[in-house]
Structure 1
Amino acid sequence: MNTVLFAPETFNLAETTRAIEVARRLRDRYECVFAGYSERYAGLIEEAGFEYHALTPPLSEEQADQAIRFDQGAGLEHPFTPEMFRERVESERALNALLRPAATVIGSTLSQFVSARADGVPLVYVKPFAYSWPHLRQTSALPVVQGHGRLARAVNTTAARLLRETARHTTLKPRGWVRIAQENGVRLPRRTVDALDGDLNLVASIRLRPYLLPPNYRWVGPVYAHLDHELPPEVPHLVRKARKSQRPVVYFAMGSSANRDIVLRVLRELSRLPVTVLAPVARYLIPDDHPELGEHVHVFDLLPAHLLNDQIDASVIHGGEGTVQTAAASGKPFVGIGLQFEQRWNVDECVRFGNAVGLSPRQAHGESLRRAFEAVLHDPALRARAQDLREHLAHTDGARNAADHIHALVTA
């Protein structure tokens, strides 16, 4: 049986869980093997029953956080030095020699753009639509400024035009990436947007508007986590208790790219409302935080959110692909607090569709958050549109579609 190598950045929860879901649909046709550098979410891969290769150099927790801050535009430094790129490529090419994969499936793993091509392995990128080149070519506005007034429209349409023209001509790439590519006989495409494409690009996003895709893109639809976890035994009890006291149940999740400040601010606000909160955000908190949140805020490490669909009344999320798709599948509206541009676009698409209320991080407190929350709990139009979106997505299996496209690539 041929091998397909999955190499997401394992400090990124969405990338890791997307890869797991696709591998599950592919494992009856190929030996699916994983590799990565961070231990943060590597355990989820082994829990799902896949072989995992911890490559060198390992990425520390501090380096993972630094990479996330850089991705969000909240920091100017990243850990991916030329030396790290060189070591990564050496480690990846050694694994390629061992496994001889028929394809490599990545997230935002830049070193694999070198390793796979140096070894002649087809490269598949499972990616969001937001801020890809086909998105930038076709979008008329970007959610830079919150709101729909004249000024906001002018700023957002101008931002889309400027970013499109910048992307059309930009050739800037990390120096270490280019240097190590040359050392390995790989010539990266000149334009940055082209250098960031795989041989096959699978768009794992909700499609709410018609967009055209270039020949090396396929739209597969939502791919989000179905964790191999049972619900903690206290969750059904908490839900029954909330129903008995007529307290709405709220799911609050901020993925792997949030920060302690925003998590605490939102939890404190939710703790003042007559709701029961289920929040898989433990990694952002310390023990001293919990008493101030009160008896109706319940914090967990990770929760299998797809098992909560029929037990929650609304969500408060950060707008990452996985959390938006899980919220959409629940059929319940959500408050979206986008922390970076991709997340803000995801939220904005749902606001436009009518199943969400969007807030900026600065608005995520006080009266603004309370009004947004009241809307997702009680506005009949929002709740009806959330059900419409659930039905719209009900017959789309993004992970199966992705697996089928990978198989077609390998067997072509």
Structure 2
Amino acid sequence: MSTVLFAPETFNLAETTRAIEVARRLRGRHECVFAGYSERYAGLIEDEGFEYHPLSPELTDEQADQLIRFDQGRGVSHPFTPERVRARVQSELALNKLLRPSATVIGTTLSQMISARASGVPLVYVKPFAYSWPHLRQADSLPLLQENRRLSRAVNTGAALLLREAARYTTHKPGGFSRVAREYGVRLPRRTVEALDGDLNLVASISGCLRPYRLPPHYRWVGPVYARLPLEVPPEVEHLVKTARGADRRVVYFAMGSSGNRDIVLRVLRELSRLPVTVIAPVARYLEPGDQERLGPHVHVFDLLPAHRLGDLVDASVIHGGEGTVQTAVASGKPFLGIGLQLEQRWNVAECVRFGNAVGLTPHQAEGERLRRALESLLRDPRLRARAEELQHRLAGVDGARNAADHIHELVS
């Protein structure tokens, strides 16, 4: 039985759980082993019974938050100095020598772009479609502005054209990655956007089910891959839902994944607390002592919850637009409000807004009357609910994790 190494960035909840879901479907056909740099969500891997190798240098929570701010455009610095990239590659090469994997499966673990190739190991990237090169080549609009006005549409159309041409000619890579790649004789693709590809790219997005996008030969559609945490719905949640139904209150699920921040979480929770709804929110990591008490009796905060088991219990969701949360909301058959915190998340939300099962706001729009109107439309607009049910049925037979596992099996067999 050959070994497949899964190496997500384990500070990222969606990446970590996506890798776990694919490994679950591959386990039994191949030995699935994990490695990562952050302890933030590494425990989820070990809870599933997978062997986990913590690599050095460790990525601290502070550095992980720095990367999230950089990804969202809220910061200009990142921890990937040449020294750190070099140390990562050395650590990964040592693990490759120990495990001799037949393939390495990554999320956005960029150092593996060097180490896997230096080791001669096929690199598989389970990735979003948004802002990949095939997406940029075919996109006719990008969701920079949310308003459905002539000027907004013109700006979004122009943005797609400009970004496509910029991607066509941009060759810059962070100095640490280029330098270390040269040291190991790894030749990265010239275009920056293509340097972010694996040898095999498995697109875990719903976009391919919504529009007829074309993919290059080293890409495959696999479909939605989202977390199915091995947790039961807490009895407290079931009691809250039963009480809300008895009082004729709607139930709203609110989650911000691993890329939220305290400001946006509190803003949304305050608005939700003013509506006649019961809120179930696994956002405890973003709050400080005393926050919840100020949110009133109908906002209930938790740590991680098995979101995929809550579909029949909630009436709508408010989420940040990460692929996993969007796909979980779609699978529930309920409409959602998406507040994209960075460009990829805005695209995920925009795809569903276009389909008709979602409402989208930017973080700056997510307050006051505008947010209240969006939340009320989620709960009252029958067209949103009908389209949400339609998309749920369209995707019901798609097992993205199984499809991804089958492609990996085919690659290494």
Partner of 1:44: 44
Which amino acid counterpart does residue 350 of structure 2 have in structure 1? D
Partner of 2:101: 101
Partner of 1:262: 264
Whole-Å Cα distance in 2 between the matches of residues 232 and 57 of structure 1?
A: 36
1:302 partnered with 2:270: no
Within-5 A mapping of 1:164-243: 164-207=164-207, 208-243=210-245
Whole-Å Cα distance in 1 between the matches of residues 347 and 385 of structure 2?
A: 21
Partner of 1:85: 85
Which amino acid counterpart does residue 339 of structure 1 have in structure 2? L
How far has the Cα of 1:105 moved from its partner?
Answer: 0.1
Whole-Å Cα distance in 2 between the matches of residues 263 and 170 of structure 1?
A: 35
Partner of 1:251: 253
Partner of 2:389: 387
Partner of 2:10: 10
Secondary structure at the counterpart of residue 227 of structure 1:
coil
Partner of 1:148: 148
Partner of 1:276: 278
Secondary structure at the counterpart of residue 18 of structure 1:
helix
CA deviations on 1:370-408 (whole Å, 9 max, x unpaired) are 111111111111000000010011000000000001111
Which amino acid counterpart does residue 168 of structure 2 have in structure 1? R
Secondary structure at the counterpart of residue 291 of structure 2:
helix
Partner of 1:136: 136
Partner of 2:63: 63
Give the unaligned 5+ runs of structure 1.
Answer: none
Whole-Å Cα distance in 1 between the matches of residues 346 and 189 of structure 2?
A: 29
Number of residue pairs the alignment of both structures matches: 411
CA deviations on 1:325-364 (whole Å, 9 max, x unpaired) are 0000000000111111101111111000000011111111
Secondary structure at the counterpart of residue 45 of structure 2:
helix
Partner of 1:120: 120
Give the unaligned 5+ runs of structure 2.
Answer: none
Q: 1:351 aligns with which of 350, 353, 358?
A: 353
Partner of 2:72: 72
Question: How many percent identity over aligned positions?
Answer: 77
How far has the Cα of 1:148 moved from its partner?
Answer: 1.5
Secondary structure at the counterpart of residue 34 of structure 1:
strand
Whole-Å Cα distance in 2 between the matches of residues 216 and 129 of structure 1?
A: 13
Partner of 1:408: 410
CA deviations on 1:290-314 (whole Å, 9 max, x unpaired) are 1111111010111000010100000
Secondary structure at the counterpart of residue 57 of structure 1:
coil
How far has the Cα of 1:73 moved from its partner?
Answer: 1.1
Whole-Å Cα distance in 2 between the matches of residues 26 and 73 of structure 1?
A: 36
* TM-score between both structures, scaled by the size of structure 1: 0.99
Whole-Å Cα distance in 2 between the matches of residues 188 and 360 of structure 1?
A: 35
Whole-Å Cα distance in 1 between the matches of residues 375 and 339 of structure 2?
A: 12
Moved over 2 A (4+): none
Whole-Å Cα distance in 1 between the matches of residues 218 and 109 of structure 2?
A: 19
How far has the Cα of 1:321 moved from its partner?
Answer: 0.2
